[in-house]
Structure 1
């Protein structure tokens, strides 16, 4: 019985004490679980430093790899050599001139395609086309009140809303104007919508190329620091080129 009591006494849970009140100004007392985490972190960093030190000692000073050509160390700091640093000022200017010529050729090509599309479409079926007006002159207010527009235009009243392709009654009676197949009209409308979408995209692309061309021309003008503007009226944005004020120069 006494041995059992002694065994129960030996299984007592020993708790870590808290920070004494006299030392409460020092904060919480570190427990064993906190010390273990701090020790693990310290040992891990120590091991990493040992591995790096060993790698530095084992490094061959005569070692060479091809990336050394495009990189260098200045005051112990690694730097990458840019491609432009290997080119002269004249070579950089020539490359930028070639880029400007490429932009000019692309914009010219876009303008030609744009003019060709506009000549075919004429904005007849566009949804945001301007509203046309047709003025009819009469002699009196009574004639204006009694005016039958369909009879005046010699067409059917259902066709008055059309601004184009509006046949006369005589053409309808003689059979010159034949109704179009609905499936064919649906296909035509689809192709027309596709053409207008392409027109909108090309107009947007031509505008972006125009802004890019203006930006590159201004950069070429400012290159070298000879032509400095007096002040900047408008900063450069994604959709517009910068606006500068230049000094007045008398031409001889």
Structure 2
């Protein structure tokens, strides 16, 4: 057999990995080299981490101190802050009032920004078709027959089918100076991208306002629960990420 045939035969040979012997089949699948490599790397990585931690423990300053050592403790295996345990109800109510004022301020700011975006985007439609109609009134049938919408609105005829980005003829020159031509499809695509970005921002701000509203309602409920005296209210419905919990107070006759 020639050397070329020997090389071709060796290249076509399939090397199969050894399987687990029948006598050791109860021990599971036989570990291959790739499995051993992963296990060895994981073992050495953990050993290196332990070595670093032991070195830090040996080199630690015995006189080291920070206030969190005395401001926290472990009760029943749960780490708790001492400040939360030792605070008086009046102090907790004051802190919650400050948080409530901050959340209210943020929610009002988001509401103003949403209104500004809506007032800017009220002429844009997602489906590209206007929902409003513009009606013109004339004095005679002849005037209605000779009526020119382009001349009446002062808009070029090719821009009339658009529901937005439809400037008047007197504004075209100023837009050309700024490098934006409404008749150009490239300029229109730039406007469409800007509109899509504004709609995405509006959707995010609406979602953020909803989240802030839920947080505000939860803080108000906590404050009412803290200030309530006598019988505790009954929880009717647990809270969630989109709604605060619902409590029922007993009806009391006030003097």
TM-score, scaled to structure 1: 0.50
1:212 is aligned to 215
2:90 is aligned to 90
Q: 1:83 to 1:166 in 2, by over 3 A?
A: closer
Instruction: Name the structure, 1 or 2, with higher relative contact order (CA <8 Å, separation 6+).
Output: 2
Q: What is the CA distance between 1:64 and its match in structure 2? A: 6.5
Gaps of 5+ in 1: 1-62, 135-150
Aligned partners of 1:71 and 1:81 also within 8 Å: yes
1:188 is aligned to 191
Q: What is the CA distance between 1:90 and its match in structure 2? A: 2.0
The question of 1:105 aligning with 2:108 is answered no
1:69 is aligned to 70
2:115 is aligned to 115
How many angstroms apart in 2 are the aligned matches of 1:83 and 1:125?
Answer: 53
TM-superposition CA deviations, 1:60-111 (whole Å, max 9, x none): xxx865355335699xx99765332343322222111111111011111111
Aligned partners of 1:155 and 1:166 also within 8 Å: no
Q: Helix, strand or coil: the match of 1:241?
A: coil
How many angstroms apart in 2 are the aligned matches of 1:133 and 1:79?
Answer: 61
TM-superposition CA deviations, 1:167-223 (whole Å, max 9, x none): 9xxx9xxx8898612121111111111111111111000010001101110110001
Cα RMSD (Å): 4.3
Aligned partners of 1:71 and 1:78 also within 8 Å: no
The question of 1:126 aligning with 2:125 is answered yes
1:223 is aligned to 226
Gaps of 5+ in 2: 1-61, 134-144, 151-157, 173-181
How many angstroms apart in 2 are the aligned matches of 1:79 and 1:242?
Answer: 26
Q: 1:129 to 1:218 in 2, by over 3 A?
A: farther
How many angstroms apart in 2 are the aligned matches of 1:94 and 1:215?
Answer: 15
Q: Helix, strand or coil: the match of 2:70?
A: helix
How many angstroms apart in 2 are the aligned matches of 1:80 and 1:133?
Answer: 60
TM-score, scaled to structure 2: 0.50
